[in-house]
Amino acid sequence: MNRQLLKNKGYVTLISAQTISNLGDWLTILALMALLAIKWEASPLALSIAMLCLAVPNIFFGSFSGVIADRFNRKILMIATDVLRALVMIGIVFST
């Protein structure tokens, strides 16, 4: 990695935030799969369908979401989507 990038405070902040966000995403997936498998005793087929349901939106919306995202301020968009995802996760916690 270029050492010059590590001196850029904005870059370090962005990479740190994205790392934390990605870790949260994977922990959420792990928690949902554990909830399905352990608490609700889901079959392997049900777990596969749940994973498919997590992937399908990326497949269908990923191709044109970049075009839409280019029309908005990137910083505000990233913050807004992360806050929205956090609210959804909090909603899931309180709904179970």
Measure CA 49 to chain center.
18
Mean pLDDT, residues 18-36 taken together: 90
96 is written with which tokens? 């179970």
Residue 25 is predicted with a pLDDT of 86
State how far the Cα of 19 lies from the Cα of 73, in Å rounded to an integer: 21
Distance CA 26, CA 29 (A): 5
pLDDT over 70 for what percent of the chain?
98
33-84 residue pLDDT tens = 998 999 889 999 999 999 999 999 989 998 888 888 899 998 899 889 889 9
pLDDT at 93 over 70: yes
> Residue 3: its pLDDT value, please?
86
